[in-house]
Structure 1
């Protein structure tokens, strides 16, 4: 059997969820078309939400040469495609330990959290229909365009201020819990404050529709009649999301309880297991552990597992700036590009952004695990160091890079040439 190739182009799969951007306005649609022009046509009326890259069986990534699923290629030569260190740490059954995505967001996604490994095993065993695997799902989002999201609970003083001044919020939570929360905000007992936050969240999430729907309608009217009470940004956010999901519980559990995070292109945030979050608008690169487990809270017609959600969250309440993940240098490359390493505190993945703003090249040492690279802007070349042949690498193209394969990216013009490379090392 011939050895597995160390560098080759692959084709990911697009997902057409309702919240995706429509037609050619979606980076997902444009990238999918550019990477597979003979087989992809864009329907301008259709939403294009996610482009999956990896070995997750739900949406296969395939070789561009012969359409063989990447999952099958990895299973046929696991040591060459994953590296023994990755096999020892994560096993080889599921293939690449991470799932890499492009997301193009037109409407808010469901407010959600993901289980840690222990909870994922329990949920998968008891309810495999709603929790299809037993893995955790920490994830990271890197903005390609301006991007907004909910991420983690607001600082408690902010929540308390909203409870004091917004009648609908206080009525939903109840005077008893709102008063108890107000009394405990200044406490030095962090665990006690988390329990109080859990009480507030539980009251919101366990409210029946007959109670929260009229309160949500009243809340929206108040943002129009008295926007100064909320602040311009929050009033606008509530109105925008109500237009997408009228009178939804998410107006309370998202807009009033969670941080509203704005990322500029190149900024990132990391979401640990059991942290509540939701993406609102924009285009991002997303990387996560290879799982599809979601515990939902609001802005969705799908199954909401309220009891599990209320019980499992961390109830951390950090300021929005602390949710962001600052990039680090990447010393294992030399050349002319600007490099930013997004390296979250988990084992399954890191993401490297490489940007050229003029002609030049960048040589990368081999990494001790598999990686997937996508070009998001411009065009250039990618090749194995020391080889004569180079592959065209233009917007939308995706490549698999084998462990320990030293590669070179080449920009041949002054135009911006940007790529993102997700990788795993043990």
Structure 2
């Protein structure tokens, strides 16, 4: 039985403490605009993430039939494509990526529920700040050892990684009472306008004060000195490989990752913390923020589409911006896609389709493998499309 290669799907919402509240959240705005069945916006609830994909924790469904998306794809393997199914073991209908809108503010299988690694890419929708990867360091019990090697010309060498790991571990496992005392002293100095010491920019001062207001006494506040502090403008993106520590601080993003929800936490969260596994699982490769930047490029022959292509095979993301009374066409992609209309409204059409799909802000839709697609709009439309191909 044939099935349409393009159809709307029902995403799911996740409420976490760090989400924005009520209608201030892009997640809530998208969920409301797309009229997710049964969704009732709670003005006092924190909406953190909108999930689009086949992750078993919270899978999307086909709007027309209410079938679980993975089951629908397993019944129609042509929608995934044989090459992708073979390359990523996706014959059961599970996509190799999980697409999200995120609003920020093996061992232990009850906590880490799948075996997938979790590289991810964050594409800013609004001004966005992130902490990513260790670099600048503060004094700790083994600071002398670190300072002795800090000027190395090979910051990713074995000895350098050990020194960085030892310092990070010492900070993250410091006595809680001592952490609180030192944070109180630091925050009091900042609030009093005390002189900054080397490495303390005004950005870092403001960040520490903000984090302290949200997570007073939390060891994660010291990560302001241990990680790069990165600001992204709308349309800029960073990629973080597995084992690279990060904390998203504020803003709205489109996030795509391997199909995993494993998170090892150590600070700035009310959830379970697992410092031993975090310390043992990081890469400890010191580098500038530029290492993580994903440089956008044109998407094939499309005139108004921008490709964000991280250095992994599981996913890529295209941002499509269609002007008023304009049309944008994408050639066939040899794998499945999930797309969301993030601004405006318009139509999606494809060869062989009997009628165009009407989409507006918040609508999420699936695009089957080997399907050419066109976006059109009378007033303007922005779409973010995640896809996978197999070479």
2:153 maps to which residue? 188
CA distance 1:47–1:227, shift in 2 (3 Å):
farther
Residue 397 of structure 1 pairs with residue 366 of structure 2: no
Q: Distance in 1 between matches of 2:4 and 2:195?
A: 59
2:187 maps to which residue? 220
2:44 maps to which residue? 45
Gaps of 5+ in 2: none
Give the alignment of 1:169-180 within 5 angstroms.
170=139, 173-174=140-141, 177-180=142-145
CA distance 1:227–1:286, shift in 2 (3 Å):
farther
Per the normalisation by structure 1, the TM-score is 0.87
| CA distances 1:244-281 after superposition (whole Å, capped 9, x unpaired) | 100100011x2110111110101000010000001111
Q: Alignment partner of 2:126: what SS?
A: coil
Q: Alignment partner of 1:200: what SS?
A: helix
Q: Distance in 2 between matches of 1:38 and 1:184?
A: 58
| CA distances 1:175-205 after superposition (whole Å, capped 9, x unpaired) | xx21221121122343222211111101011
Equivalent of 1:246, from 197, 208, 216?
A: 216
Give the alignment of 1:109-128 within 5 angstroms.
124=106, 126-128=107-109
Find runs of 4+ consecutive structure 1 residues off by over 6 angstroms.
none
How far is 1:94 from its partner?
A: 5.6
Question: How many residues in Structure 1 have an aligned counterpart in Structure 2?
Answer: 384
Residue 141 of structure 1 pairs with residue 152 of structure 2: no
How far is 1:385 from its partner?
A: 2.8
Comparing 299-308 with 261-270, greater Cα deviation is found at 299-308
| CA distances 1:21-46 after superposition (whole Å, capped 9, x unpaired) | 11111110011111116632211111
Residue 330 of structure 1 pairs with residue 299 of structure 2: yes
Contact 1:227 1:235 in 2 (8 A): no
Contact 1:11 1:36 in 2 (8 A): no
Q: Distance in 2 between matches of 1:405 and 1:227?
A: 60
Contact 2:244 2:282 in 1 (8 A): yes
CA distance 1:137–1:94, shift in 2 (3 Å):
farther
| CA distances 1:397-421 after superposition (whole Å, capped 9, x unpaired) | 11100000111111223x4x21100
Equivalent of 1:151, from 93, 116, 132?
A: 132
Residue 28 of structure 1 pairs with residue 27 of structure 2: yes
Give the alignment of 1:17-416 within 5 angstroms.
17-36=16-35, 39-77=38-76, 79-91=77-89, 92-93=91-92, 95-105=94-104, 107=105, 124=106, 126-154=107-135, 158-159=136-137, 163=138, 170=139, 173-174=140-141, 177-189=142-154, 190-225=157-192, 226=194, 228-229=196-197, 230-252=200-222, 254-331=223-300, 333-334=301-302, 337-413=303-379, 415=380
1:118 maps to which residue? none
Contact 1:81 1:370 in 2 (8 A): yes
How far is 1:87 from its partner?
A: 1.3
Q: Alignment partner of 1:137: what SS?
A: coil
Contact 1:82 1:95 in 2 (8 A): no
CA distance 1:53–1:222, shift in 2 (3 Å):
same
How well do the aligned residues superpose, as a CA RMSD in angstroms?
Answer: 1.5
How far is 1:388 from its partner?
A: 4.6
Contact 1:8 1:399 in 2 (8 A): yes
Q: Alignment partner of 1:9: what SS?
A: strand
Contact 2:73 2:93 in 1 (8 A): no
2:385 maps to which residue? 421
